[in-house]
Chain A
Amino acid sequence: MYGLGILSGMVVTLKNFFRKPFTVSYPEQRLPQHPRFRGEEFTWYEERCTGCASCAKFCPLGIIRIVTHPGGTTPAEGDSYAIDVFDIDIARCMFCGLCVEACPYDALFMGSGFEEAKYRRRDLVISVERLRAAEKRPSTWYRPQLEGQAYDPRRDGSLPWQKAGREPWPYHLPQRPQAEGEKTTGEGTP
């Protein structure tokens, strides 16, 4: 009434005028990213992968293609299938992470980047060579053992498979045994 509401609104905008902008100039500045961020490029440890194709079966879109032949060995798991083809078509991927959740051997991790823009759709298919050669910066999404180590993919850099740890807990069981080296209490835990 009497224009006072308009005036109080004007005061609010003037107050915000002197606030620091909440946006950032993206390529130079970046927002902090949580280690759990489900990123675009996948991290795959061949040493652990047995070629069971659980990831391919659990993918809601069926965009993981795996071709194997018998006769491989993995240092971690013993006998396994050798991988011929491991294509992840991230052009169609929706980064739900169900493949990572499905992997029984902790071989597949989400990545931590988000800048995979390409000019051609076929460049968006992550091939097995690219997975092998890629820098390993796994997201801690669905990998509590990494969170226990307080690993941050943007800060800490490449992680070899020996350090990535194994989760002894089958994911469908309710109670997770305490992983080795995991923090048990934190100040923020309610």
Chain B
Amino acid sequence: MNAFLAGNSLMRGLYCWLAANQGNAQECSPGWQPGMAARDGLLPAGWEWLAFAVTASVAAFLVLNLFLLLAMFYTYLERRLIGRFQVRIGPNRTGPWGLLQPVADAIKLLTKESIIPDGADRWLFNLAPIAMVVTMFMVLAVLPFGEGTFIADINVGLLFLIAVTSVNALAVFMAGVASGNRYAMFGGVRAVAQLISYEVPMVLSVVGVLLLAGSLSLVDIVNAQRVPFLLLQPLGFFIFVVGASAEMNRPPFDTLEAESEIVAGYHTEYSGMKFGYFWLAEYSAVLTTSGVIATLFLNGWQGPLLPSHVWFLLKVFGLAFVFIWVRSTLPRVRIDQTMAFAWKFLLPLGLLNIFVTAAEILVLGQPQGEGRVFSTGGLWLMAGINVTVTIGSVAVFSRLVSLRTPALPVPAAHLSRVEAR
């Protein structure tokens, strides 16, 4: 419990207010905060577990609601910015500059009838949107939003994050198969193929970060970034961003819900707030993924002058802007090319990245204790090598790898169908 609270100013204040000076809470030893030194907690001794539970619930509640507000604002921002990319105005009718548009959308979705199709599997159909939203919010549990502001700093944070986000594939598949619609089934089957495939290069790209930081805890990873890992791991950054946009069904990899092909993909049959859940999950996924990328590659909350939370938000929305920009520019990749891109292009690049990073750590790092440390010159040398390797390997691979596939021969028996009739 103490390790849990260490460095977590988000929860420590409340916890100490409830359970300070109980003798067994060293975290709240006198002087943990000036001016509140000799105050006793509200709860009697032996009730720290309750203080802990209340603190955790309150923190989770706060973070979740703040995040939902941010996600609502983000939906507005995305529509507005895409409007500007398309040289039009975007939503501007509800409230000043259309700021209340997400509220209007939510009201509309809530008042709509929630239809369950006849052929649907009711249980799975209702469960899928919840599974999708819940897994999306579980990422928030380990994400550090600022200096000392996180819900939990667990020592396998990155592993938790990867594990939780891959449940997403299950939710999408559930929605697709339970709908009893063939378009939805196409979306669900594509989801299984695409989401699981892109897990592999994504995890491989993160290994480079792990090698450099020497820890799975996200807080430790941020603290380990003397130089942003974007410079040390440009190839890993590239693979992670591409993989993440495939995981989030963002264009150009939005084959799961490709509007022009399979209507709406896995959520074709959803209406009302169940559709709203999918919508919410997709938009908030952009924010959480941007948060993860900012944490892993862009120095997290660290930055000069401004408060740490502001830096974090700036980085998150900067990355979100890039995602919006990409969405408004690129056409969709075909599903088999999406798969080929993951296995033929990103996977070898990810392995190359691990190999290069490991070799650099061996050659450039000086052993110290359990790990290795780098001189500033060594870091810059490493950045230079890695940027060169990235540009070179991407260029070479785009020459080597062809994503095009020919038409498959169709048995003549199928072709005779129309004539036979």
Chain A positions within 8 Å of B, measured between CB atoms, are 1-3, 6, 9-10, 12-14, 16-17, 19-23, 25
The 5 closest A-B pairs by CB, nearest first: A23-B88, A13-B329, A21-B89, A13-B85, A21-B88
Residues of chain A within 8 A of B418, CB atoms compared: none
CB within 8 A of A10: which of B87, B325, B399?
Answer: B325
Residues of chain B within 8 A of A14, CB atoms compared: 325
- A3 touching B398 by the CB < 8 A rule? yes
Shortest C-beta distance, B368 to chain A (Å), equals 39
CA distance A2 to B345 in the complex (A): 12
Shortest C-beta distance, A86 to chain B (Å), equals 40
Task: Tell me the nearest residue of chain A to B331, going by C-beta.
Answer: A9
- A1 touching B83 by the CB < 8 A rule? no
- B85 touching A17 by the CB < 8 A rule? yes
For B, the interface residue count at a CB cutoff of 8 angstroms equals 18
CA distance A17 to B326 in the complex (A): 13
CB within 8 A of A16: which of B87, B92, B399?
Answer: B87
Within 8 A of A (CB), among B316-362: 325-326, 328-330
CA distance A1 to B403 in the complex (A): 13
Within 8 A of A (CB), among B377-414: 394-395, 398-399
- B84 touching A2 by the CB < 8 A rule? no
CA distance A2 to B89 in the complex (A): 33
Shortest C-beta distance, A23 to chain B (Å), equals 4
Shortest C-beta distance, A26 to chain B (Å), equals 11
Residues of chain A within 8 A of B87, CB atoms compared: 16, 19-23
Shortest C-beta distance, A120 to chain B (Å), equals 27
CA distance A54 to B390 in the complex (A): 77
Task: Tell me the nearest residue of chain B to A14, going by C-beta.
Answer: B325
Shortest C-beta distance, B266 to chain A (Å), equals 27
Residues of chain A within 8 A of B84, CB atoms compared: 17, 21
Q: Mark B66-80, 1 if CB is under 8 A from A, else 0.
A: 000000000000000
CA distance A23 to B83 in the complex (A): 10
Known interface pairs A1-B398, A13-B325, A21-B83; A6-B88 also in contact (CB < 8 Å): no
CA distance A27 to B155 in the complex (A): 58
- A22 touching B88 by the CB < 8 A rule? yes
Shortest C-beta distance, A137 to chain B (Å), equals 29
